[in-house]
């Protein structure tokens, strides 16, 4: 019986996170309230508090779920560079919600709790990307004259640039070509071999 209850709790949390993400997308994080999330989900605000202590905790879980859905899943296969294309495809799939990442970054400048959440998110992404690149370097698949952590920071910066271009409405075909060219420049060992 406890497994059913635990499964139910996890399902309920996922529904809350999904509803919160929708509310954050529509209203922005700062303007969103627990009442808004409860209304979106069709439950009482008190029900939310039985799963989460605050809107910040929901945000943290939302951010963590995003990392799981994007970075963890994209980099499960560490045998090729395909996960980087999967990462790009994820950006395209969710291009209407990308502004939330930038809003969280902006809020971090004056909210220490959100700053901690955003910093933790960045560290997790950096660790996942660094581990992935290190494995490819060890296999001789990509250049190894740059530390994997440095390369990971460059790729995360490119990822952020692509997100910004999508938000600003640049041509998606051009963005994709720029993504591929940037990856080749950073990763291709043949370009950099003497």
Residue 67: pLDDT over 70? no
pLDDT at 177: 94
Q: Which of 12, 27, 52 is the last residue of a domain?
A: 52
Query: Which comes out higher in pLDDT, residue 4 or 134?
Result: 134
pLDDT at 2: 47
For residue 164, what is the domain's CATH number? 1.10.357.10
User: Are 38 and 59 members of one domain?
Assistant: no
User: Are 42 and 68 members of one domain?
Assistant: no
* Cβ(119)–Cβ(103) below 8 Å: no
Whole-angstrom distance, CA of residue 179 vs CA of residue 165: 11
User: Are 24 and 113 members of one domain?
Assistant: no
User: Are 158 and 97 members of one domain?
Assistant: yes
Domain count, the chain: 2
SS3 track for 34-80: HHHHHHHHCCCHHHHHCCCCCHHHHHHHHHHHHHHHHHHHHCCCCCC
* Cβ(75)–Cβ(166) below 8 Å: no
CA distances 172 to 93, 95, 131, 168, Å, are: 12, 10, 29, 11
* Cβ(67)–Cβ(166) below 8 Å: no
- Stated as kind and residue range, the H or E segment containing 142 is none
* Cβ(56)–Cβ(97) below 8 Å: no
Closest to 91 measured CA to CA, from 64, 106, 70, 62 = 70
For residue 31, what is the domain's CATH number? 1.10.10.60
Whole-angstrom distance, CA of residue 18 vs CA of residue 100: 14
User: Are 83 and 104 members of one domain?
Assistant: yes
Q: Name which of 6-15, 128-137, 147-156, 166-175 the model is least confident about.
A: 6-15
Residue 194: pLDDT over 50? no
User: Are 107 and 88 members of one domain?
Assistant: yes
The range of the structural domain enclosing residue 168 comes to: 54-192
* Cβ(66)–Cβ(104) below 8 Å: no
User: Are 81 and 97 members of one domain?
Assistant: yes
Residue 182: pLDDT over 80? yes
Residue 131: pLDDT over 50? yes
pLDDT-derived band at 191 (thresholds 50, 70, 90) equals low
Q: What is the mean pLDDT of residues 147-162?
A: 95
User: Are 6 and 48 members of one domain?
Assistant: yes
User: Are 90 and 158 members of one domain?
Assistant: yes
Closest to 73 measured CA to CA, from 92, 88, 86, 89 = 86
For 5-63, the pLDDT digits (tens) are 667 888 888 899 889 988 988 888 888 999 999 999 999 999 999 999 988 888 888 87
User: Are 6 and 59 members of one domain?
Assistant: no
Residue 149: pLDDT over 60? yes
User: Are 2 and 84 members of one domain?
Assistant: no
pLDDT at 42: 94
For 70-118, the pLDDT digits (tens) are 777 777 765 667 888 888 887 887 777 777 778 788 888 888 888 888 8
Whole-angstrom distance, CA of residue 66 vs CA of residue 71: 8
């Amino acid at each position: 019986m406890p497994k059913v209850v635990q499964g139910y709790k996890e399902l309920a949390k996922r529904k809350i996170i999904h509803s919160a993400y929708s509310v954050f997308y529509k209203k922005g994080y700062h303007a969103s309230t627990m009442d808004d999330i409860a209304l979106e989900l069709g439950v009482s605000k008190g029900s939310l508090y039985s799963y989460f202590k605050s809107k910040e905790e929901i945000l943290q879980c939302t951010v963590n779920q995003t990392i799981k859905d994007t970075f963890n899943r994209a980099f499960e296969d560490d045998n090729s560079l395909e996960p980087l294309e999967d990462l790009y495809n994820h950006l395209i799939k969710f291009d209407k919600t990308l502004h939330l990442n930038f809003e969280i970054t902006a809020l971090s400048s004056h909210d220490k709790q959100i700053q901690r959440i955003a910093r933790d998110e960045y560290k997790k992404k950096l660790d996942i990307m660094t581990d992935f690149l290190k494995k490819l370097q060890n296999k001789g698949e990509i250049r190894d004259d740059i530390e994997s952590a440095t390369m990971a920071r460059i790729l995360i910066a490119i990822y952020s640039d692509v997100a910004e271009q999508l938000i600003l409405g640049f041509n998606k075909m051009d963005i994709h070509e720029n993504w591929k060219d940037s990856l080749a420049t950073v990763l291709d060992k043949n370009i950099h071999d003497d």
